[in-house]
Amino acid sequence: MLFLCIAAIGSYATIAQVISIREFLNIFYGNELCLGIVFGAWFLGIATGAIVGAKVEYTLKHAFSVFIITLFIMCLVLPVQIFSVRGVRGFLSVGIGEYISLVPLLLISIGLILPFSFIIGFIFPFSSKVIRGVTGDASVDIGVVYIVESMGSLVGGLVFSFFLASRFHPFKIIALLNVGMFVLLTFLPFRSGVKENKRTARVLGFVPIGLTLFMIIVWFSPIPDKVEVLSTKMRWNTLNPHIELMTSADSKYQHIDIGRQAEQYSVYLNGQYAAAFPNEYEYAQITHLVMTQHPSPKDVLLVGNGLGGIISEMLLYPIETLDYVELDQNLLQIAGKYLSHSDKQALSDKRVTVFHQDGRYYVKNISKKKRYDIILVNTPDPSTAFLNRFYTLEFFQEIQAILKSDGILAASVSSAVTYIGKEVGSYTGSLYRTLHEAFQNILVTPGQTNFYFACNAEGGITPDIATLMERYRKLQIKSEYFNEYLFYTLLQPEQVAFIERQLSQRKDLLVNTDARPVTYFLNLILWDSLTGGRLHGLFHGLKDVGLKSFLIPIVIALAGRIIYTILRQIKLGTNDTKQLKTNCLIALATTGFTGIALEIVLLYAFQNIYGYIYERMGVIVAVFMVGLALGGYIANRIILKIEGSTRHLSAKDNMLISENCQIKGWHGQTRLSVSEFWWINILMIFEGVIGFYALLLPFLIHALSFYSAAAEVGLIFFIGIAGILTGLEFPLVNKIFIQQNKDIAISAGATNGADHIGAFLGAILTGVIFLPLLGVFGTCLILATLNIASLILIAFSVLCRKRSDIQCR
């Protein structure tokens, strides 16, 4: 029952983590920046909780009672957290339509997530304490808790992804989780075998019975539904209080809100404005500006938003086919209830074919089948890693493969009408520079939104108003919402020349690639600048920083740690065994850093190829966790096997060493050296393997990107490998640590804390800085360097230890 309860903790925690990520995507407007921040805040809470739990365990007499009471509290915290996330904009008094600046967003995220994750970390030392003795080896006992909790995480992730997410809203899921947890806690005091006094056992037995009955009543009552509706409206009112919320739903890919003001409907995806319909006047200008750039368009591809009249206007031209790629089928089904008759008619036109695929995936896999005259990428700004995929050099090169020789690409980003400042210029200019790398001819239109037209044929695109007017008349287009004289408004010659001059003179513009998504990073700078934040200056400085600026501090830190160890040894006159223990904890922290960083890198690669992680988040987290469990299991088996084979040798050797050390006055400095060096040597091997895997991963990702059909299995497999390599070290460092300190709770708290402090830093730095700025290869090189530095640090400690042993003998 104890093992089942520990597994339930892992399951509960994983489901809570995935729900939190999905909720925070709305606060972050779909920006994957929240992955790094949510993971980071989560691991910071676990690290803090584990360290506090290890300290507090000394002062508390009954570990089992604390274990159960903590689980009661855990079940109460999660619903409060989710409700608070939905109301956070109101708490921060954010204005209507305003973005939250990055620093408050970071702090409030940590504040909201940390209480729950603190509990998960706090309970770990107590979990290790209550099952102590199950294997006969304290360090292996800790590893067993690690494995069982991770296996529970696997089950939780799979159940959420394939069953709960599609059937229930978050508060209904939380009620169901609490019923299950309280049922377990009802039987645990009587079946666990843990000795408590009779009064405590009765209380710990009957309180869960009452809570179980209460939660069952709540499950069947309308309370969860009412809380869901109330909190959803609260979140919506902080975004759009003057717009009536018509529909709110979760699809496989995103959260969808549709609101109505007067006769116009607005679509919000993950909290970010995506489209409005009917919106014929605006979309008519976009459509005719795009369609007249080609003298005689026949085959057209529309990637992204096709609502609001844009398809209706395109069908006014004598085109033969219009392929419309929209990832989310649910979006069209939900919005279809509110579409105008003309929009519904346009979608059912025989020339229109709707493909429910990711636009990037469609372009990559249609290359041998069809060619287009015009491709309009009608997606929002590259404010997220998902959207940035439609503005990279690789995507534009893929577009080239499906364009006819005189075909035209059209795309757009937000800009400024009369002034192109530092942040705006860098942001919109990165698209200008990237398109120039892929196409020979580029045209940029002025305005609040810059439209970019690109082609390789001479004379294919033109800003000449007379030419466009002639094409419009020749095709005999008759639109209720557009006439040819509007070209004078859209393409004022002075403004066209101004925007071209502003962008062409910039020498600092960066190329946006899949491996280095700088436009996404520059959007973060613009976001912080527009919200009055204080980080845009720092971010803007970082965009010009090279990889070596991140590698040099790692080398300096390594050298500093080695120098400190030498000085400490000189001061004591012998080797300080605490330094070796500390270096092993540092190695565990760097492994935690690398593990979560590799998971984020692979999440990013998964989204680059398939365009979504919303549905797969539970599976991906679960696979990583089962990798941790498998790694922990393998390490436990190694420990038990080596411990058995070296036990007799170690006893004899340690007796001789102890006698010699007593003579020299160094008693206790080198005890258990034979077995200890076994563990340390294995730890160094693991550090080297992790570093090599980090170096190899970018090449594996690049190879998989050419095989979209098989990439999903491959990337999830690589996530599992990252989990295994991360999980291998935890029991091993516990074995080294516990030889110096025999208390299992302190060892569990110290190692769990170090692991998650590393994971906290890895999540924040990778999600916010490394990936957007340095890309996959640069990030993986930093991770490899970190682990190699840890290997060198441990090797140096071993060298010092061996020298002490020689002197001792």
Residue 476: strand, helix, or coil:
coil
Please report how the helices 138-159 and 102-130 are oriented relative to each other, as an axis angle in degrees rounded to 10. Answer: 130
**Tokens for 621?**
């987290």
Q: What are phi and psi of 440, to 5 degrees?
A: -80, -35
| Alpha carbon distance 588, 737 (integer Å) | 11
Distance of CA 327 to the CA centre of its chain: 20
Bond prior to 278 in cis (omega within 30° of 0): yes
User: Is 326 part of any known ligand binding site?
Assistant: yes
Contact status, residue 326 vs residue 290, Cβ threshold 8 Å: no
Q: What are phi and psi of 658, to 5 degrees?
A: -60, -40
* The 3-state secondary structure of 387-419, one letter per residue: HHHHHCHHHHHHHHHHEEEEEEEEEEEECCCCC
Q: Alpha helices of 242-358 — where are they, by DSSP H?
A: 280-291, 310-314, 329-336, 341-347
User: Is 712 part of any known ligand binding site?
Assistant: no
User: Is 358 part of any known ligand binding site?
Assistant: yes
**Tokens for 379?**
């997606």
Q: Which of 758, 751, 760 is nearest to 50 (CA)?
A: 751
CB neighbour burial string for 615-651, b if at least 16 within 10 angstroms, e if fewer: bbbbbbbbbbbbbbbbbbbbbbebbbeebeeeeeebe
**Tokens for 295?**
């003298």
The tokens 């998971």 sit on which residue? 599
Q: Which residues contact 119 (CB under 8 A, 6 or more apart)?
A: 49, 70, 73, 74, 77
| Alpha carbon distance 148, 391 (integer Å) | 43
Complete DSSP assignment for 43-101 = HHHHHHHHHHHHHHTTT-S-HHHHHHHHHHHHHHHHHHHHHHHHTHHHHTTPPTTPPPP
Pairing of strands 352-355, 321-325: parallel
C-alpha separations of 24 from 29, 253, 331 in Å: 8, 14, 20
Q: Which of 33, 128, 19, 119 is nearest to 387 (CA)?
A: 33
Q: Which of 67, 612, 135 is nearest to 358 (CA)?
A: 612
Gyration radius from the chain CA atoms = 30
The tokens 């390599």 sit on which residue? 725
Contact status, residue 643 vs residue 679, Cβ threshold 8 Å: no
User: Is 293 part of any known ligand binding site?
Assistant: no
The tokens 């309280």 sit on which residue? 182
C-alpha separations of 541 from 383, 423, 528, 549 in Å: 19, 11, 14, 12
Q: Alpha helices of 101-197 — where are they, by DSSP H?
A: 102-130, 138-159, 170-191
C-alpha separations of 187 from 5, 6, 68, 183, 656 in Å: 10, 14, 11, 7, 51
Complete DSSP assignment for 639-670 = HHHHHHHHHHHHHHHHHHHHHHHHHHT-TTSS
| Alpha carbon distance 196, 153 (integer Å) | 29
C-alpha separations of 730 from 29, 130, 476, 733 in Å: 36, 19, 72, 5
Residue set of the binding site for S-methyl-5'-thioadenosine: 254, 326, 358-359
Residue set of the binding site: 254, 326, 358-359
